[in-house]
Structure 1
Amino acid sequence: MNGIRAAVNTHDFMATFNQLDADVFCIQETKVQAGQIELDLPGYHQYWNFAERKGYSGTAIFTKEKPLSVSTDIGNEELDHEGRVITAEYPKYYVVCCYTPNAQPKLKRLAFRQQWDAVFLAYLQKLNAIKPVVVCGDLNVAHEPIDLKNPASNHHNPGFSDEERADFSNWLAAGYVDSFRLLHPNKAGIYSWWSYRFHARENNSGWRIDYFVVSEILKDKIEAAEILTNVYGSDHCPVELDFAN
């Protein structure tokens, strides 16, 4: 979202929220602390994970069905202070809202990012041993050259480094499916994030870094996986998954 207060106050978030009428909304990069915003969302249960650092990171889940349980950590003290994950447990699956750390310019935070990738996958594997997993979020990686406008000039940049892409490949190989690419294996030019610089969105010079990744056992239940490029409000646009419950 790049700040939920900006989305609500400036970009008409509520109109989009009501129009989409999703069963579950997963929000990343809320950039708020407890008490800084109150949302009136009739019919939805709200769950928030705030970063310790003010104006930074943060996630939220808004859900029509009350989960059986909700957790806000991945069991690693070093990684759990940035508000990056919420897990909602439902009878047949888990929904995990994730805001993956950015490797930062010159890959200065790559080691932290790769630590996150390893710990997060281990966390998902523990969940997946109990019931299937649906992961939604800004995963901060464009997996293949088809997933960004300028792969050659962005090679080794954060989000398209060999290390981050390999970690995502390892995740998929562990028994998970990129829902959009499953249904649209060769679809190019569809992105979910654009820089605010150089008129990137006007020129569709973007990256696909927002995903629904699901346990392989759920792949036959996927009915649609779309990227809502016509929805404005931040440097990202929403991604959507429809599947048979």
Structure 2
Amino acid sequence: MKLVSWNVNGLRACLNKGFQQYFQEADADIFCLQETKLQEGQVCLELGEEYRQYWNYAEKKGYSGTAVITKIQPLSVRYGMEEDREPEGRLLTLEFDAFYLVNVYTPNARRDLSRLDYRLEWEDRFRTYLKQLDSVKPVIICGDMNVAHQEIDLKNAKSNQNNSGFTPEEREKMTRLLEAGFVDTFRHFYPDRTDAYTWWSYMPKVRERNIGWRIDYFLTSSRLAPFLVDACIDSEVMGSDHCPVLLMMQDVAVVTSPAGSA
């Protein structure tokens, strides 16, 4: 099973920069998008009859938004956490036979950190939500989580210590999420790999010089670790300020019990 996640930073723009060619070449079983910046009806993706498409649009035009394009038919689809809606279009949960898939675009704390308190509160609700899902069946989480977890996950750690996406508070929330029973799949396979980034500023020559951050993830319930095959970053793929991240897994045919359960 192959899964892809990509913050496209505006799907309409990305469609003019090779999105569909990459989509076809990737041939993923499940393809997740963040920051689609769409309203319903603004694009019509012709991707083949084998794919089903699920979209969560933000109420604000040209803002946020998530989508899941899947060959595997879900049992159910949810468009938020506490309620079956998400005003900023940041969350899609698809239930499959053996796992839940959660596609997320985590709120940014903003450059001046004016949204940090909201971000931290959102993180607590999100962790609780994932633990609730995990108590039923394993969870695969993917998306732009807007945090570089460790110093290895960005180029200039010292100069970014208190910047949005690398504040101690945001990093601690990621630590708590992983401690709640989830695995950062890229670090599972490549714990010491440096210069592995998924986002670069649009400033001149920043991407060319690979001055980036790793803020896009695939996490899984820890009990899915035996099913993991590889986790990759397609850093050469253009079309957005983010690049796609990939997860390869064996088919999850057996639902295992959460850690600590009887």
Indicate the TM-score class for this superposition, using the shorter chain for normalisation: over 0.9
CA-atom RMSD in angstroms: 1.0
Equivalence for 2:257: none
Instruction: Quote the Cα distance in structure 1 between the aligned partners of 2:18 and 2:232.
Output: 21
Distance 2:24 2:63 in 1: 26
Report the CA distance between 1:199 and its aligned residue.
Answer: 1.8
Alignment map for 1:104-115 (pairs within 5 Å): 104-115=110-121
User: Structure 1 stretch 196-205 or stretch 26-35: which is displaced more?
Assistant: 196-205
Residue 80 of structure 1, CA deviation: 2.5
Q: Which residue of 1 aligns with 2:140?
A: 134
Structure 2 unaligned runs (5+)? 1-7, 252-262
The two structures have a TM-score, normalised by structure 2, of: 0.91
Match of 1:4 among 8, 11, 15: 11
Question: Deviation string for 1:200-232 (max 9, x for gaps)?
Answer: 101100000000000000011110000111111
Aligned residues: percent identity? Answer: 49
> Does the CA contact (< 8 Å) of 2:143 and 2:216 recur in 1?
yes
Tell me, in whole angstroms, the C-alpha distance in 2 between the residues paired with 1:114 and 1:100.
10
Q: Which moved more, 1:56-65 or 1:193-202?
A: 193-202
Q: What is the TM-score when the length of structure 1 is the normalising length?
A: 0.97
TM-superposed deviation, 1:76? 5.5
Q: Could you report, residue by residue, the CA deviation over 1:37-87 in whole angstroms, capped at 9, with x for unpaired residues? A: 11011110000000000000000000001101011111169x921000001
Distance in 1 of aligned mates of 2:86 and 2:168: 25
Matched, 1:71 2:78: yes
Rounded Cα–Cα distance in structure 1 between residues aligned with 2:114 and 2:179: 27
Alignment: residue pair count: 243
Partner of 1:59 in structure 2? Answer: 66
* Structure 1 residues not aligned, in runs of 5+: none
* C-alpha distance in 2 between matches for 1:87 and 1:156: 31
- Alignment of 1:166 onto 2:143: no
C-alpha displacement at 1:130, in angstroms?
A: 0.4
**Which of 230, 233, 237 is residue 239 of structure 2 equivalent to?**
233
Q: Is 2:199 the partner of 1:193?
A: yes
